[in-house]
Amino acid sequence: MPLKEYGVLAARAVARRREGAVDTPHYQIHLQDRQGTDYRAAVNVMSQESPSELLYLVDDSFQHPILGLMPSTTAGWTALPSRPGGPNLDFIRGNLFDPAQMRLLPPDLQGPDNDLADLLDYYVQRAIGDDDAVLYVFGERFGPEPGFPDKVLISSLAMEFMTFT
């Protein structure tokens, strides 16, 4: 299913929230661009199809020509036109990595370092602690609807505030 407005967000991670076992659990990341605009990235950690585990790959030394096409770290949201040779992520045709290196990981299990949410938490917590870290989040923008604040972002901020006071 094609996305209506595909793009990339270049922003800093400022907070995160793990969702427990729900129909479609997500790992929520609160981001801010250099202009102070708030964003929420909802990262799906479980497929609705069986098996529910998602494939993942971590490459701490990723090198690819697509990196030279990324927008500035101060860009915030950038719409990306659908065309070959652009910075759009296409894991198969873009030859970004060897798909055989991908591994299955459950979405959220009891215990440390054993699920996709734990893996995301490790990297997002590092990014939150590093003022120079910039996350590039690819996908389609959604909400908040005019006149309605983002309920997840508000509760995430409140949770972080309560944690650190």
Would residue 21 count as lying in a domain? Answer: yes
What pLDDT score was predicted for residue 134?
92
What pLDDT score was predicted for residue 162?
38
Structural domain count, the chain = 1
Would residue 78 count as lying in a domain? Answer: yes
Would residue 102 count as lying in a domain? Answer: yes
User: Tens of pLDDT along 131-154?
Assistant: 999 999 888 887 766 677 676 665
Three-state secondary-structure class, residue 61:
coil
Would residue 46 count as lying in a domain? Answer: yes
What pLDDT score was predicted for residue 54?
82
pLDDT tens, N- to C-terminus, the chain (165 residues): 566 788 888 999 999 988 766 666 788 899 999 888 888 888 888 877 777 778 888 998 988 888 888 888 778 888 888 777 778 887 777 888 898 998 888 887 788 888 888 999 999 999 999 999 999 988 888 776 667 767 666 554 444 433 332
What pLDDT score was predicted for residue 133?
93
Would residue 107 count as lying in a domain? Answer: yes
For residues 56 and 89, give the distance between their C-alpha atoms in angstroms, rounded to a whole number: 15
Would residue 154 count as lying in a domain? Answer: yes
Burial class for 38, CB neighbours closer than 10 Å (0-12, 13-18, 19+): middle
For residues 100 and 60, give the distance between their C-alpha atoms in angstroms, rounded to a whole number: 17
Residues of the domain holding 24:
6-164
For residues 143 and 77, give the distance between their C-alpha atoms in angstroms, rounded to a whole number: 14
What pLDDT score was predicted for residue 155?
53
∠ Cα 138 39 11 (to 5°) = 60
Would residue 1 count as lying in a domain? Answer: no
Which DSSP category does 72 fall into?
Answer: P
What pLDDT score was predicted for residue 159?
42
Helix, strand counts (H, E) of the chain:
2, 7
